[in-house]
Amino acid sequence: MDSTHTTKTSVTLEIKGSRALITFSKTGGLNVLTSDVLRSLGAIVARLKNEPTVRTTTFRAEGKVFMAGADIKEIARLDAASARDYATVGQGIMSDLAALPSITVAAIHGAVLGAGLELALACDFRIAVKTAKLGLPEVSLGLIPPWGGINRLMKLVGSSRAKRLLLNPTSVSAADAHRWGLIDETVNSVEDLSTRLPRFCEAFYRASPGAVAGIKRASRDFDDLGAFLTCFEGREAREGMAAFIEKRPARWME
């Protein structure tokens, strides 16, 4: 987590066809997820929710690290009421991110700590440079992750490994995180991230957008039957089955 910064981290959205790229950047210092940056991220997530042509959304960062965490000086100024608002807004935005109909990927380099790791946990997949470090050091501040990261981490890697990360403020290597299942793939360098990400995302384009959204919804709500029936009653199911029978590629976006 970073408590010193002179310029605010910016967050930008670029959409190219079916791909969306969200980039965090800062001139000097480390990327920090302040409440202002969080609100900007929330506006981007809200826009992507209504972009039906976007199939994949990638989160990247410029600079030394993916995200150093939250602004500790800002949090230290909160009272009980504003702390509740801060946590509630953050939880809502991370839940909205997790619920995006597109497939989401966090591309991690340097380090991802605290609030930054909560953001990465809200994504469907995480790819990291081998030298990256991951951690949730909130316990060293007398705090805990407030934006849903605890439950997402438990679901992803299991209780024992999650507690090892949550109760120990020391970060873990990308190699350990990969072995645990927290990281899906590792690459050798930041340059390799740029090469690997398009290929990683390309593998999902044969999938029906509606089916992708249905699987993501079922994994959150534990309602496989409801999600299946929604898909079955939609146009894409008719198209997908017809394409299979007729031995041709499915046309999802028509």
pLDDT in tens, 50-88: 998 999 999 999 999 999 999 999 999 999 999 999 999
- Residues 221, 190 within the same domain: no
Give the count of domains, the chain.
2
Give Cα 54 distance to the centre of its chain: 15
Tell me the pLDDT tens digit for each residue of 202-225: 989 889 999 999 999 999 889 999
CATH of the domain at 22: 3.90.226.10
Tell me the pLDDT tens digit for each residue of 19-30: 999 999 988 889
- Residues 134, 220 within the same domain: no
- Residues 236, 191 within the same domain: no
Whether 15 is covered by a domain: the verdict is: yes
For 226, the domain range is 209-246
The model scores a pTM over 0.85: yes
Domain endpoint, select from 166, 184, 202: 202
Whether 94 is covered by a domain: the verdict is: yes
Q: Which residues contact 239 (CB under 8 A, 6 or more apart)?
A: 208, 250, 251, 252, 254
Residues with a known catalytic role: 118, 138
Are the C-beta atoms of residues 132 and 109 closer than 8 Å to each other? yes
- Residues 159, 190 within the same domain: yes
